[in-house]
Homo-oligomer: A and B are copies of this chain.
């Protein structure tokens, strides 16, 4: 029971930030959602910046775990790579939300330093995983896997952003498909 509030705040904040960004987070609404009072959140997180950093850190930790689980489940690197866009697709499925860190990349100028750091780590985690799987798949010349990983990450994030602005998941699917046709993603 004890640490449940903290966890609830964390996951409510995550959901909210995926729809409204860091700026859209506020203690009162968060508290209402969790069922405690706004001031009580300060017991778990000394400031909004701390909450933001904790949420973002948890976000990339979860993502890293998901990606590793996916690779364990689908060891064939080409098939696994094929599933990568699903990670971003799921946010859209979940109420037309988007990647927390893409949103925060937009809000970059207004982010506390600690939050910026976690946002960058999210990108690092994705690029590292993609780079590893690309290498294993040998779809790309060795030494080219990291630039390609970055390109895939950026392009998929862009596809999510555009699809969100139309509330249209099929647009996301079409974009990923076009990336494959064009050769950015392996077929």
Contacts and interface: CB of A to CB of B under 8 A. Distances in A.
Contacts of A104: 165
Interface string A99-135: 0011111111110000010011001000000000000
Given A110-B24, A174-B147, A105 B183 contact: no
Contact of A119 (B123, B144, B156, B165): B165
Contacts of A24: 23, 110
Given A184-B182, A184-B183, A161 B158 contact: yes
Contact of A162 (B19, B144, B153, B162): B153
**So how many copies of this chain end up in the complex?**
2
Contact of A154 (B107, B108, B120, B175): B175
Interface string A143-176: 0100110110111111101101111000100110
A6 interface: no
B165 A179 contact: no
A178 interface: yes
A58 interface: no
A181 interface: yes
A48 interface: no
A97 B7 CA distance: 34
Given A103-B106, A106-B98, A166-B120, A157 B151 contact: no
Given A98-B106, A144-B181, A182-B184, 10 more contacts: A20-B110, A105-B164, A108-B164, A148-B182, A150-B174, A151-B179, A155-B158, A155-B179, A158-B158, A158-B161
